[in-house]
Amino acid sequence: MLKESRKLKLEDFGLFEGISETIVTTSQGLSPNAAPMGIIRKHDTTLIRIFKGSKTYKNITTDNFLVANITNDPLAFVRYTFSEVLPEDIQTIYSQEREFPVLKDAQSWVAFECINTKITPYSLVAELRPVMGHVNCCYPKAPNRGLNALIEATIHATRYKMHGEEKYLELINFYEDIINKCGGEREKEALRLLRTYL
C-alpha cells in the first residue's frame, strides 16, 4: 500500500494522537540520516520539535522534508540514537517530486513536508504535512514492558550523555530490571548495545 495524497489518514500508518516514537529519516544530498524522534499529534495538528545540533536538525532546516518510520524493533531505537544509519538499512523512494530515504525494515512510514518552521534559540518546531505513506507489513503485537522500558532507558542514556548526571544512570538501572524481566532476546540485546555507549 503506497499512498500519495495530501489527505492521508495518519492512523492508517501507526501515528496516533499524543507523541509517537518513530525513527526519522532525512537526507541532504547523498547522505541519509536516521534518528529516533517523537511525532506530536494534537487535534488536527502534527508537529515535530528538534533540538539544535543534530544532523536531523541540519537536514530539516535545509530540506524541509522528513520521513517518520514506524517500528517496534528495540535495536533500531538504540542503534539510531548512537550510531550512523548503514546504507543497507535504507531504501530510497523515488516520487514525482523528489527522492528520499526510508528504513527498509520499518513496519510503515509517512513522508512529511515541514511547514511553518519556527526556530527558537535551542530548537525548531515544524508543522508536518503528510505527502506520502506506505505500510510494509502489519501484525498484531501485545504491549511488552521490556520494549517500553528499553525506549525509556535509551532516552535517559541520551540525557546522561548530554548532562552527565548520575540520576540518569539510576533511571537506566531501574528500567534495566524491567527489560530483563519482561523483554525478549531482542530487547536484551538492545540493552547490551545501549550499555556499550555509556
Options 8, 108, 113, 160; binder of a second copy; rule CB under 8 A:
108
Binding region for a second copy (CB under 8 A) out of 94-102, 123-131, 132-140, 156-164? 132-140
Which amino acid is residue 178, in one-letter code? I
Nearest approach in angstroms of CB 29 to a second copy is 28
Q: Compare residues 58 and 75 and give the one whose CB is closer to a second copy.
A: 75
CA 178 to chain centre: 22
Binding region for a second copy (CB under 8 A) out of 20-28, 49-57, 78-86, 190-198? 20-28
Which amino acid is residue 190, in one-letter code? A
Helix (H, G, I), strand (E, B) or coil at 14: coil
Q: Per CB under 8 A, does 181 bind a second copy? A: yes
Options 35, 103, 128, 147; binder of a second copy; rule CB under 8 A:
147
Backbone φ, ψ for residue 176 (5° rounding): -60, -40
Grid cell in block for residue 70 = 514506524
Q: Per CB under 8 A, does 39 bind a second copy? A: yes
Cα-based distances in Å from 67 to 47, 91, 98: 13, 12, 13
Rounded-to-integer distance, Cα 43 and Cα 170, Å: 36
Which of 50, 33, 163, 48 is CA-nearest to residue 114? 48
Options 13, 65, 80, 160; binder of a second copy; rule CB under 8 A:
13
Q: Per CB under 8 A, does 152 bind a second copy? A: yes
Which residue ranges make up the site for a second copy (CB under 8 A)?
11-22, 38-39, 41, 68, 70-72, 107-108, 135, 138-149, 151-152, 181-187
